[in-house]
Amino acid sequence: MSATSNPHGVRPALAILSRERRYGPGRLYERKLDGERCVARCDGNRAILLSRSSRDVTDSFPEVADAVAAQPADDLLLDGEVVAVEGHRTSFARLQGRMQSHRPEPARESSVRIFYYVFDLLRHDGEDVTAVPLRDRKQLLRSAVRFADPIRYVPHRNQAHEDYFSRICHRGWEGLIVKRADDGYPSGRTSSWLKFKCEAGQELIIVGGTDPTGSRAGLGALLLGYNAGDDLVYAGKVGTGFSEQVLRDLADRLADLEVPTSPCTSGRLPSRGAHWARAELVAEVAFTEWTRADQLRHPRYLGLRRDKPARDVVREGQEMYR
């Protein structure tokens, strides 16, 4: 299977960010995980892992592929999230060490332990089950898959409320994924799946960087943007959340992508000290809120995302208006 193939034509369901949290019957509530989305295909004794953009990431997570290949079903298609854990939290920043491994041998030797949290079943023993209601697919998933590390099941709740959401946020969760219990498996971005985030954050396009100051090496801050129709909107900069090695690596990547002028077509650009880059890299950024000037307040860099192309990055909460 090629790096850009898509097993059975399935486009992974993608949740829409909801800033208005509503709770009610007929929904399932799952923990939001901060990792790399993966569809796992097992055909006989071979397994392949694909990111949400259909990139083959099997060599980055070979122990997960081994565990999927060892499942009793001969023809299996799973949906889940590969995560690394730091304390009681899933850590996308920690997972970066594995996402940058492109050969199975170094990946197996990595000190970063990973898990594949499975939350849905799309195909079982040659049968497409995407039309089966979610609640029934969950039951089938529990019986069809042998759950042992590194494969784990994502449990769900039938009810939730704001007090519960506050408690899970205090425990360090990313938030909740809310799904309609009686729906089949949707394709692509869908209002059947919502995400309630404990911390504001999203993917943003890296459009450049600034010079380092003081003792910092390689890079001062990343310059960020997002798509809005035909415009690439400047969203501000992020200067925290980097290790020295990450700063050097990003500086090298941006040097290869450097262009003489900003790729942004709107937004208030910095007046000096900026080096611009082709809009190809995507970063995950946490922040407290959007300012009135539509820029990030108190942003913090979390890591690079390779599972989402820059052309698909929009300001979250506005997906339905693309």
Name the residue with tokens 């900003």.
Answer: 262
CA gap 266, 260 in Å, rounded: 17
CA gap 222, 232 in Å, rounded: 16
CB-CB contact of 270 with 208 (8 Å)? no
Distances (CA, A) of 203 to 224, 235, 283: 10, 11, 5
Query: At CA 130, angle to CA 174 and CA 3, rounded to 5?
Result: 70
Helices (H), the chain: 62-69, 92-99, 104-109, 134-144, 162-170, 244-257
CA gap 18, 189 in Å, rounded: 13
CA gap 91, 89 in Å, rounded: 6
CA gap 269, 193 in Å, rounded: 35
Identify the bridge partners of residue 157 per DSSP, sorted by sequence position. 29
66 DSSP 8-state letter? H
56: number of Cβ within 10 Å: 15
Q: Which residues are catalytic?
A: 32
Query: At CA 114, angle to CA 111 and CA 117, rounded to 5?
Result: 175
| Nearest CA among 191, 188, 155, 193 for reference residue 39 | 188
At residue 281, φ and ψ (nearest 5 deg) are -85, 145
